[in-house]
Amino acid sequence: MSIAPQLSEPVTQRSPEMISPLLRVSLLLGVALHLAGFLVFRVVSSPLPDRVATGPYVEYVSAGSLANDRELEELAALFDSAPLFIPTRWNASQVLLMDPKDEMQGQFPEFEPKIQLLSELQPSIFLVPQNIAVDKPLDLLASRFWRFFAGITESPQSLAEFPDATPIAEVSILGELAARRFSIPVDLSYTTSSSVERPVLYFMRVSGSGLTSYAPTLGQSSGNADFDRAADEWLRRPEVRSQFPQGYLSVKVFPW
């Protein structure tokens, strides 16, 4: 009978000699660095700004706090006038101010009042001048100063109507030292629905024979195209040009 040899597995045990010296040195350096970091370096955080605690702008008083005449006590503390009457030299109520008129009153003797009724009754303004001699009494109620309601019961007076003003043209010669101006009547025929704001101004040159060198030039419009057109047509008439003097003219045509 043969007995087979039994192989036993080797038992592996780590001895202290198996840790390398390099690993030991690394562990010691790591622990030393951590201790140095905790001891040397610190985390500095910025502190929050300080804020002064202030009371609320509006305070709500509950109903329970007003019990036992709490409101009356607060009013008495607020309106207590006792500090105003402390007898000290800093209190304004202790300083007696004398009126200077009262001090000077004793320097003059007493006198009776002088009353002149006639001078007091005279009016400040006279309706009739004082330098005019009056022979008979004047009825002030009939004067023009007192007739405020004289026309209430009277019938209104009919006023004469002003005659209709005819349009005119003001002609002046430009370029002369003493500018001559004269007016001539204007016969215009135009129909417009809008009003004429201002007169229209034209410039034209008239020769010695009474002929115009060129058509009238519009200098300033009247604001109404129909009135400007009627004035231009009127200036182009031969009978109108014959009334103009020789020279460079400024013609201002006024409306109705």
Residue labelled with tokens 């007493």: 110
Mean pLDDT of the chain: 74
Percent over 70 (pLDDT), the chain: 59
- Residue 242 CA to residue 184 CA, distance in Å, equals 12
**Which among 240, 224, 221, 230 has a CA at the least distance from the CA of 190?**
230
Across the range 142-153, mean pLDDT stands at: 64
Query: Residue 45 pLDDT more than 80?
Result: no
Query: Residue 44 pLDDT more than 60?
Result: yes
**Tokens for 149?**
């309601």
Model confidence, pTM: 0.37
Q: What is the layout of strands, in order, in the sheet containing 200-206?
A: 181-185, 168-173, 247-253, 200-206, 217-220
Is 218:249 a contact under the CB 8 Å cutoff?
no
E-strand ranges in the chain read: 168-173, 181-185, 200-206, 217-220, 247-253
**Which among 185, 237, 187 has a CA at the least distance from the CA of 210?**
237
